[in-house]
Structures are given as structure tokens and as C-alpha cells.
């Protein structure tokens, strides 16, 4: 496992990759920070980490990157299915946990899927920003839940020029 620290307009970021691709992208200090990293890791700029750094430079310049670095998300089949759906959310757009649950249910031939279960998988996405969990909002417009913090979620959506007028930051609850 290889790691690389880089700076962003929203604070420090830790990247992690193995030989197959990017396995983690975390804001320093976020919930679940680097929780998949074992004690054996080297700070080294691999090709996957270089491409990720270039992707982040393009993204934080306010443009949509026209490439995706090699990704190697590690998780259960359910979580990986949810993360695949996240990758389909277009830049500058949002969806809801409920809509993702409906998509996943349809894809798996089920009549329904728990939005809470989908929310749990979204919340445990280890490759934030690139697998865009920040683009998922509550059905009511609540900007609920983001491991990097609600402030960062708001700033990422603003960077993508999302119309924020229909969203609000919850003032109480477990997802703030």
C-alpha cells in the first residue's frame, strides 16, 4: 500500500493506492480517516497516485475532469454496487438516498431496497470526491451526512455549481 499527502483548497488530503489503483481518498481528520490502511504502507508517488493528484488539480480548479484515475475500492459486494451507482451521478448534479435505493433494487431485480442501507454504504465510501458521495442528499433537501463534514460537502457542491437554493443544513440529528 502506498500513500501520498496533498493539499487542497479544503484542507489536507491523504491518498492511498495499491498496485491496482486508488483505494482511499480522505480529508485529514474526517470520520473513518484512513481506516482501511494497515501498518504497512510507504509514502511514494505511484502512477495511480500521480493521476489522482492531477485529477484533483483539475477538479479544484473548477473544471470537470475528463478522466478518472484507476480505482480499486475495497468493500463488500453491496457497498461496491452502491459506489458504482455513485460514479454515475453526473458532475454538478445530485440524487437522493431513496433514488439510489430504487436504482439498486431495480438493478438487482428486487421490489425495494432500504435507503438507510444505501446511506450506510455511501457513508463508508473510502474514495471521496472521485466516487462522489457528496452528490447524495436527503429527499427533503437536507445536506445530511458527509464523512468529511457538512461544510466540505457544501463547498464541493458549490465548486460544481450546484443550485444550493433547494438544500439546507440540518440543525439536529445524527447525520450532521
The residues assigned a catalytic role are: 133
The backbone torsions φ and ψ at residue 73, rounded to the nearest 5 degrees and listed phi first, read -65, 140
What is the DSSP annotation of 102-119?
HHHHHHTT-S---HHHHH
Q: Name the DSSP letter for residue 90.
A: P
Cβ(151)–Cβ(164) below 8 Å:
no
Q: Name the DSSP letter for residue 127.
A: B
Residue 116 CA from chain centroid, whole number: 17
Query: Euclidean distance between the first and final Cα of the chain, in Å?
Result: 32
> b/e per residue, 131-163, with b = 16+ CB within 10 A?
bbbbbbbbeeebbbbbbbbbebbbebbebbebe
Q: Which residues pair with 95 in a beta bridge?
A: 136
Amino acid at each position: 500500500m502506498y500513500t501520498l499527502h496533498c493539499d487542497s483548497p479544503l484542507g489536507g488530503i491523504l491518498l492511498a493506492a495499491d498496485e491496482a489503483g486508488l483505494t482511499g481518498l480522505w480529508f485529514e481528520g474526517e470520520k473513518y480517516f484512513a481506516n482501511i490502511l494497515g501498518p504497512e504502507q510507504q509514502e511514494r508517488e505511484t502512477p495511480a497516485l500521480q493521476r489522482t493528484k492531477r485529477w484533483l488539480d483539475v477538479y479544484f480548479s473548477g473544471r470537470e475532469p475528463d478522466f478518472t484515475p484507476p480505482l480499486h475500492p475495497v468493500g463488500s459486494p453491496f457497498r461496491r454496487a452502491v459506489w458504482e451507482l455513485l460514479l454515475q451521478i453526473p458532475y454538478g448534479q445530485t440524487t437522493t438516498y431513496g433514488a439510489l435505493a430504487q436504482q439498486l433494487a431495480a438493478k438487482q431485480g428486487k421490489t425495494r431496497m432500504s435507503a438507510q442501507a444505501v446511506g450506510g454504504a455511501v457513508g463508508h465510501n473510502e474514495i471521496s470526491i472521485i466516487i462522489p458521495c457528496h452528490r447524495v442528499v436527503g429527499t427533503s433537501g437536507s445536506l445530511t451526512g458527509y464523512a468529511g463534514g457538512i461544510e466540505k460537502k457544501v463547498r464541493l457542491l458549490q465548486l460544481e455549481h450546484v443550485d444550493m437554493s433547494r438544500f439546507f443544513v440540518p440543525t439536529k440529528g445524527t447525520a450532521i
